[in-house]
Structure 1
Amino acid sequence: MHLSALLDGVARSSGPEEAVIYRGQRWNYREFADAARRAATALSEAGLRPGDRLAVMTYNTPAFLFAAFGAWYVGATLVPVNHKLQTPEVAYQLRHCGARLAVVDAEIGDRATAADADVRWLVSHPDTAPDALPADSFEALVAGARPWAGEPGPDGDIAQILYTSGTSGRPKGCVHTHRTIALTAAYTAATVPLRRDERFLICMPVWHASPLNNWALGTLLLGATVVLQREYEPRVMLETIQRERVTAMFGAPIALIAPLQTVPDFADFDLSSVRAWIYGAGPLDADTARRLMKAYGSENFHQVYGMSEMGPVGASLSPAEQVEKAGAIGRGGMPGVDLRVVRPDGVDAEAGQTGEIWLRSDTRMVGYLGDDAATAEVFAGDWYRTGDLGRIDEDGFVTVVDRMKDVIITGGENVASQEVEGALRGHPDILDVAVIGRPHEQWGETVVAVVVPREGTRLDLDGVREWLGTRIARYKFPRELVLRDELPRTASGKITKHVLRAELA
């Protein structure tokens, strides 16, 4: 199940079929595999060795996929990096994973290359950069390289490190093997299911676990077609679906809601080719589900639930269940996944009861990079403890009712509350702060900062957001600022965030 060997197999069986489409450019499977092998040689000549970590920080471009498979041919590990991160955040991940080589999109190269890390940079599409960057062109190196001739390694080799927000505020690196990723792609393909004639639109960031492992790889390893949209934009999404006759897409709920609000001529687009509208990172309520079905002229909406630690795989809600069981994540696990809801006493919950959602699958990560203690906290035998609290209804459907982990999910992005709090505590006019998520119809949750200002100072949201500046990525910025004289605390001094959530709901 080595990913490079799987690509070779698909290239042999589906050679002339379209593999990747990007802005009018097209690669069939023979061409795609050839480009990936050339990328492997280019990366190797740039210093990448088996076992090394290759960081890739780009938009949804072919360069990301060529670099990923190139790293896998070499026997190296792919480390996708969020292109929205600011320089200190990039530096942390590069140092933490030990990357020595990185590919970055020219448009964001200044943020990345400013990171104080011992990394050699290769720049994708340097012709688009506002200023020349001191790095070699990735595309030029690939074009001049010969195809890689090496053989793939065992499927137990480390293939990927996915960084995910954690309760500590520092992202944790989820370590995955070729086998766990290949099974993630296979189980996902069986869930919808995906077909050999699929034309799947990747418009959410491909460095995210789900767009990459579930949908891009799930599509490619099936021999179907991936359509890349450089970055999500509602009108471009509709134009791409219509032009390329896209058959399936994935996004956070806001990706489906936004076009209705921002594209005045939405009804003029022909979206009839889409047979599967897939969403995740948050549920839809019944009214919103009905509204989307009417607007998109389809009842074929699928919800998926999972997390990076599991591939991601977990549970799914079928089209027939979208309205009747709105808000639920599904009944049991998706193909290849076992799901339990476990009470605090360790006994499985029954109908009407609440407990922690546990998942078991061959897709589970090896562990958190360099953090055995954190790994031990979330592993229970061969089960993964999600930290999500779920309630079972009389039909066996599970609904997430709260999170034990202090993480906010907004627009499909995970935001660690403690990371935002840590940044805000550096503000000279802030005495105390708690960051929570408030439910939001479109974004799932929105980031709210509850702040105790220092005496004699004045704070406003715009000023706080401006001060955060380049300290953290913009999607982590608070969208609301609530001023308080003090924060609620337990007798031991711990902030009681559940009290704040209830007060601000």
Structure 2
Amino acid sequence: MAYTFADLFEHSVDAMPDRRALIVSGEEVTYRELDSRANRLAHHFLSLGFGHGTHIGIQMHNSIETMVAVLASFKVRAVPITVNYRYTTDELVYLYDNADLEALVFHRGYSARVAEALESTPRVKHAVVVPDELASGAEPPVPGAVAYENALSPQSPERTGSDAFDERSGDDPYILYTGGTTGRPKGVVWRQEDIWRVLAGGYDFYTGEPIADEYQQSRGGAAAAEPMRWCMLPPLIHTSALMPTFNALFSGNTVIFEPRFDAAHVWKVVAEYRPQVMVITGDAMGRPLVEAHRELQPDASSLAVLASGAALFSGSVKDAFFEVFPNLMISDSVGSSETGFGGIGFAAKGLKQHGGPRVGSNRFTVVVDDDNRILPPGSGAEGWLAKLGNVPLGYYKDPVKSAEIFRTVDGGRAVVTGDRARIEDDGSITLLGRGNMVVNTGGEKVFVEEVEAVVKAHPDIYDATVIGLPDERWGSRVSAVVRVRDGVVPDFESIEKHTRSQLAGYKIPRAFWIASEVVRAPSGKPDYRWAKEYALGQEPVHRID
């Protein structure tokens, strides 16, 4: 059996060749068409000597061609490495070098930074430039880059007979880079079978039971009278979108992408293509979506499931969705680049949420103490979120960092994350927040995600990032950089009263800064480095003594 992404996708192609696979900006491709394009690009890679073990960078926003590039890499047993298209030239140079890229596929709109970065990374020997609907038309050419259409046109669309690819293995690696919002990005090395198990359908997310064989997903998809449609909004550079996309494709569903997130346009797409499932990343997408729906009143009656992961999805925003969609199923997943899927929780209107989501008990997700001992249900103790079972091999080229979180728990290999969590009486787990984002103020620990959720629930506030800043008396003081709603003069006395009604006194922000936009990563995660630099560069607009 070959539990690899290329094999699992090809099983779907063989079972459902004429079913629609992707819809992007009005263009639709079937499974057969997507496979043929990926085969052509794969043969292009092989013609240049790029194959087993080659690291291929993919610097692209959501598009059909992005999935072609990822699939083509997997087909030749290369390692596709998705690159954050918002990175500066310096960050790109670091990633190209650290990831040992030998080839790069990129959208034309990123040509300027790609050209600058390639000057300092001679290891990258080949580049393919892809047409880009978001490009302005003034982008400089990248010396030596081959046009996407020229790379594909002379190559075979087949994957059988004389054009067959080498046999693949579930041990083939896949490397994904973390966002680097609190430091340099790190490459997390997975076996393909392991990451398929935990993020792309290899285990049933609800029962925890393993998929029986490599054909089970495609066989079930082929048996369905009508495929489901998934509207996938997070960027494919992150696992929060790429892995659910593969899960959908492995089971014969249709995935709808948007090249750029625009809440109003998303609802037009929903009205036209009528997806049943929408995947988002927390408040960063959830809040503008629900507010745009209130304004536009589009037909979104097809929507049955709203799935969020990878970023804080606060109770107030979930409640706003329930007001618009009373029968909507809202799920909130826990996971990371290092753990994969860690658990799933389901929201109910009015549910009090303190910190991150609360996820049901499962045998692979546990809470451990500082000595890596599993905390039992009923103890009510706080510790570190840990993942057992299928876990990564470690960080790429970083044995020191690998040793910090990849440990032995209960006699087996495990990942002990930087997330603080609490084990509840029924075995469920409440995620409290990132351990490295805890503000220690006067000896009390404050999890910033809990405070962010409360601040953002105030009607004057549109978005917020909470940080800790140096304080002579308390060591650190809780502070907030906020974006207020358009046309609103914030009532900070009301905001203080609101936060005090839901948080202990030591948790409320003592200083506020107003920004025209709260900067976030493409995944929706807060950029805490930016928030601290912004606050330290100017006086706050309001203080609470």
Mark yes or no: TM-score above 0.5. Answer: yes
Q: In structure 2, do the counterparts of structure 1 residues 151 and 46 end up closer, same or farther at CA, with 3 Å as the change threshold? A: closer
> What's the counterpart of residue 200 of structure 2?
185
Match of 1:154 among 146, 168, 172: 168
Task: Give SS of 1:309's match.
Answer: coil
Work out which of the residue numbers 222, 225, 228 in structure 2 matches 1:198: 228
- Matches of 2:300 and 2:33, distance apart in 1: 29
Between 69-78 and 121-130, the greater mean CA deviation after superposition: 121-130
Match of 2:250 in 1: 221
In 2: Cα distance, 1:504 partner to 1:394 partner: 37
Does the Cα contact within 8 Å between 1:5 and 1:152 map onto a contact in 2? no
Does structure 1 retain, via aligned residues, the 8 Å contact 2:278–2:307?
yes
Query: Structure 1 residues 474, 11: closer, same or farther in 2, change over 3 A?
Result: same
Amino acid at match of 1:354: E
Q: Is the Cα contact below 8 Å between 1:204 and 1:231 reproduced in 2?
A: no
Residues 320, 189 of structure 1: alpha-carbon distance in 2 compared, 3 angstrom cutoff: farther
Q: Following TM superposition, by how much is the alpha carbon of 1:448 offset from its aligned partner in structure 2, in angstroms?
A: 4.5
Is the Cα contact below 8 Å between 2:303 and 2:328 reproduced in 1?
Answer: no
1:175 maps to 189
CA distance in 1, matches of 2:463, 2:431: 13
| 1:377 maps onto 2:394 in alignment | no
1:91-114 CA-partner distances (Å, limit 9, x unpaired): 111100110110111112211221
2:381 aligned to which of 353, 357, 361: 353
Give the Å deviation of 1:235: 1.0
Partner amino acid, structure 1, of 2:99: C
Q: Give the CA deviation at 1:318.
A: 2.3
Superposed displacement of residue 296, structure 1: 3.1
Look up the match of 1:446: 465
Which range is displaced more, 111-120 or 50-59?
111-120
Identity %: 21
Whether contact under 8 Å (1:360, 1:384) holds in the other structure is yes
1:261 partner amino acid:
E
Give deviations 1:60-106, integer Å, cap 9, x for gaps.
Answer: 01111101110111110010001111111111111001101101111
The 1:246–1:449 alpha-carbon spacing in structure 2 relative to 1, beyond 3 Å, is same
Hey, what does 2:366 align to over in structure 1?
Answer: 340
Tell me, yes or no, if structure 1 residue 401 matches structure 2 residue 415. Answer: no
Deviations along 1:103-155, one digit per CA (max 9) or x if unpaired, are 11111221122112122221110684423413221233123321252334333
Distance 1:437 1:347 in 2: 25
Report the CA distance between 1:394 and its aligned residue: 3.0
- The residue that corresponds to 1:478 in the other structure is 531
Deviation at 1:479, TM superposition (A): 7.3
Distance 1:400 1:182, change over 3 A: closer
What's 2:505 paired with? none
Counterpart position of 1:3 = 5
Letter of the 1:95 partner, please give it. D
Asked whether the 8 Å contact 1:104–1:122 carries over to 2, the reply is: yes
Would you say the 8 A contact 2:286–2:317 is kept in 1? no
The C-alpha deviation readout for 1:324-350, integer Å capped at 9, x for no partner, is: 6675331223xxx61111123525144
Q: CA deviation at 1:2?
A: 1.9
Shift >6 Å, 4+ stretches: 192-195, 460-463
Alpha-carbon contact 1:59-1:205 (below 8 Å) kept: yes
Q: Counterpart of 1:140?
A: 150
For residues 192 and 320 of structure 1, what CA distance do their matches in structure 2 show? 21
One-letter amino acid of the counterpart of residue 452, structure 2: H
Q: In structure 2, what is the equivalent of residue 496 of structure 1?
A: none
> CA shift at 1:474, angstroms?
11
Counterpart of 1:85? 87
Partners of 1:84 and 1:474 within 8 A in 2: no
Unpaired runs of 5+ residues, structure 2, are 209-216, 222-226, 440-446, 457-461, 472-511, 518-524
- Secondary structure at the counterpart of residue 186 of structure 1: coil
Whichever residue aligns with residue 293 of structure 1, its letter is F
Residue 32 of structure 1 is matched in structure 2 by: 34
Aligned to 1:313: 341
Partner AA of 2:35 in structure 1: A
Residue 321 of structure 1: CA displacement?
Answer: 8.8
For 2:13 and 2:423, how far apart are their aligned partners in 1? 44
| 3-state SS of 2:383 partner | strand
- Residue type of the alignment partner of 2:254: T
Q: Give 2:426's aligned amino acid.
A: D
Amino acid at match of 1:198: M
For 1:16 and 1:180, how far apart are their aligned partners in 2? 30
Q: Answer yes or no: is the 8 Å Cα contact 2:365–2:387 preserved in 1.
A: yes
Alignment CA distance shift 1:152-1:275 (3 Å): farther
* TM-score (normalised: structure 2): 0.73
Which one is further off, 118-127 or 61-70? 118-127
CA distance in 1, matches of 2:402, 2:195: 19
The total of aligned residue pairs comes to: 439
Query: For the aligned residues, what is the CA RMSD?
Result: 3.4
Cα separation, partners in 2 of 1:321 and 1:173, compared to 1, 3 Å: farther
Question: Which digits, 9 at most, give the CA deviation of each residue in 1:362-403, with x for residues without a partner?
Answer: 2x1121101112112112221110121111233333212242
What residue is the counterpart of 2:73 in the other structure?
71
Cα offsets for 1:149-206 (capped at 9, x unmatched):
2334333343421111469722110012221232221157644999842211121111
Q: For residue 446 of structure 1, what is the amino acid of its counterpart?
A: T
**Alignment partners' CA distance in 2, 1:33 and 1:342:** 44
TM-score (norm 1): 0.78
- Listed as ranges, the gaps of 5+ residues in structure 1 are 409-435, 453-459, 466-472, 486-502
